[in-house]
Amino acid sequence: MFLNFSSFKDLASNSKIRFLIGFLIVLLFQIWSTYKGEGVAKTHDSFHYLKTAENLILNYDFIQKDAQPYIAWALGFPFLLLLFKDSVFLNLLCILGTYVFYFDLTQKLFQKTIIKWWVILAFASATPLYLIHHFVWSEPPFLLFLMGCVWIFYYFKEANTNQKLLLFCLFGFLFCAMRNAGLYFVIGINSGIILLYIFPVLIKNKVNLVNPFLWKNIYFKSLIYFSFSSIFPIFLWWLHAKIKTQGNFNTIYNLALRTFSEECLNYGDILSRWLFPPSIPLEIRFFLLLFFVFILSLLATRAMISYFSKTNRCLCPHERPLKNTKFVLFIFWITFFYLIGMLLSRAGMKIDAERFLAIIYPFLCILIAFVLDKIKLKDYLKYGIAFLWLIYPFLRTLKNIIFWN
Of all residues in the chain, what percent are helix, strand and coil, respectively (each to 5)? Answer: 75, 0, 25
What are the start-end ranges of the H helices in 246-390? 260-275, 282-313, 323-345, 353-357, 361-374, 379-389
Cα separation of 182 and 328, whole Å?
A: 20
DSSP character string of 353-391: HHHHHGGGHHHHHHHHHHHHHHS-S-HHHHHHHHHHHTH
User: Would you state the pLDDT for residue 68?
Assistant: 61
Cα separation of 125 and 392, whole Å?
A: 9
191 sits in which H/E element: helix 182-193
230 sits in which H/E element: helix 218-244
User: Would you state the pLDDT for residue 137?
Assistant: 93
CB 358 within 8 A of CB 393: no
User: Would you state the pLDDT for residue 128?
Assistant: 95
User: Would you state the pLDDT for residue 242?
Assistant: 62
CB 355 within 8 A of CB 132: yes
Cα separation of 121 and 131, whole Å?
A: 17
User: Would you state the pLDDT for residue 320?
Assistant: 42
Q: Which residues does 381 contact at the CB level (< 8 Å), separation at least 6?
A: none
Render pLDDT for 139-168 as a digit per residue (tens, 0 to 9). Answer: 999 999 999 999 999 998 766 788 899 999
pTM, entire model: 0.89
Torsion of CA 220, 222, 225, 229, to 10 degrees: -150
CB 72 within 8 A of CB 89: no
Q: Which residues does 116 contact at the CB level (< 8 Å), separation at least 6?
A: 15, 18, 106, 107, 110
User: Would you state the pLDDT for residue 402?
Assistant: 85
Mean pLDDT for each consecutive 10-residue tract of the chain (405 residues)? 54 82 96 80 85 75 59 82 86 97 95 94 96 93 97 84 91 92 93 89 66 73 90 76 54 60 89 91 90 82 71 47 83 94 82 91 94 84 93 93 75
* Long-range CB pairs of 12-21, under 8 A, 24+ apart, other chains included: 12/113, 12/117, 13/113, 15/107, 15/116, 18/103, 18/107, 18/116, 18/117, 18/120, 19/103, 19/120, 21/120
Q: How many helices (H) and strands (E) in the chain?
A: 20, 0
